[in-house]
Amino acid sequence: MQIALFGMSADPPHRGHGRVLRWLARHFDHVAVWAADNPYKQHQCPLRDRQAMLKLMIQDLPVPPGRIALYEELSHRHSLVSAQQARERWPQAELTLIVGADLVEQLPHWYKAAELFQLANILVMPRPGYRPSDQALAAIRQQGGQVAIAETLKTFEVSSSYYRQTEDAQALPTAVRAYINQRNLYPCTASSKEKQAIS
Ligand SMILES: Nc1ncnc2c1ncn2[C@@H]1O[C@H](COP(=O)(O)OP(=O)(O)OP(=O)(O)O)[C@@H](O)[C@H]1O
Ligand SMILES: O=C(O)c1ccc[n+]([C@@H]2O[C@H](COP(=O)([O-])O)[C@@H](O)[C@H]2O)c1
């Protein structure tokens, strides 16, 4: 069994994540997803809300039932710990850690990266504006990593920071948008401003 491991900040989850997940659902037997606190970032919204938004996004994806699932218990700031927990849960599976192209340069410097590479292969999602350098790919391989690029995946230019900066609700799945509006999660978004004006 081939399992994709996809941890993310999801602050908030957006349509680019949805595109990646649909592609993963076609190429893996199972896709395990979680929201995590990235040790290199500050987050705008609490982890429990990011987990909840991811769950809502996954529910609406047009994929076979059960192919993609949220595993809150895999959440950890260090991917090594998430991968260790996944290995305990699926002792026989081939594990593949999913990362966007923007993370490849930093990946060799992640917490105990060589140990992580022993537990999981690395599959890189192309992302507009980011091209993994040969040096970064070589640095992963030098630490024993098996790394490949998902060449057939066509992603598009959208990010959580784009949403946070532009307030462009089109960047988000409908259910995520509704969740944010209900809880006023990103206080600078247009919808929140509208709600403040009404109240
Ligand atoms: N548009 C995209 N195409 C391909 N991969 C993406 C895209 N957006 C995010 N990813 C990847 O998905 C994972 C989770 O991303 P994350 O939740 O940090 O979103 P982000 O849009 O990169 O956030 P931020 O803008 O806050 O840095 C990372 O591996 C990231 O590289
Ligand atoms: O293990 C690490 O040292 C490490 C360093 C940076 C990021 N990560 C993980 O990488 C995943 C993607 O992060 P992000 O913010 O790009 O969505 C998320 O699960 C983080 O916990 C992990």
Instruction: Convert the pLDDT of each residue in 119-152 to its tens digit.
Output: 999 999 999 999 999 999 999 999 999 999 999 9
Decide: 33 and 21 in contact? Cβ < 8 Å.
Answer: yes
The residue whose CA has the least distance to atom 12 of ligand 1 is 100
CA angle 103/115/147 to nearest 5° reads 45
Residues 6+ apart with CB under 8 A from 24: 4, 6, 31, 68, 98
Contact at 8 Å (CB) between 110 and 85? no
Q: CB 114: neighbour CB atoms within 10 A?
A: 14
CATH number of residue 166's parent domain: 3.40.50.620
Contact by Cβ (8 Å): 34, 27: no
pTM assigned to the model:
0.95
Q: Which of 12-21, 67-76, 182-191 has the lowest mean pLDDT?
A: 182-191
Number of alpha carbons in the 13 Å side-chain half-sphere of residue 11: 15
Would you say the CB of residue 161 lies under 6 angstroms from ligand 1?
yes
Q: Which atom of ligand 1 is nearest to the CA of 15?
A: 1
Tokens describing residue 103:
């993370």
Kindly state the average pLDDT of the residues 181-198: 64
**How far does the centroid of ligand 2 lie from the alpha carbon of residue 77, in Å?**
6
pLDDT in tens, 95-119: 999 999 999 999 999 999 999 999 9
Q: Is the pLDDT of residue 197 over 60?
A: no
Q: What range does the domain containing 109 cover?
A: 2-198
The rounded mean pLDDT for the chain is 94
Number of structural domains, the chain? 1
Tokens 């490949």, located at residue: 148
Residue 8's φ and ψ, nearest 5 degrees, are -155, 155
Task: Answer whether 163's CB lies under 8 Å from 190's CB.
Answer: no
pLDDT in tens, 14-57: 999 999 999 999 999 999 999 999 999 999 999 999 999 999 99
Give the tokens for residue 191.
């919808």
Ligand 1 midpoint to CA 181 (Å): 22
Question: What is the per-residue pLDDT across 158-180, written as a single tens digit (0 to 9) for each?
Answer: 999 999 999 899 999 999 999 99
Phi/psi at 118 (5° precision)? -75, -25
Rg of the Cα trace of the chain? 17
Question: 121-125 and 94-100 as β-strands: parallel, antiparallel, unpaired?
Answer: parallel
Beta partners for residue 6, in sequence order: 33
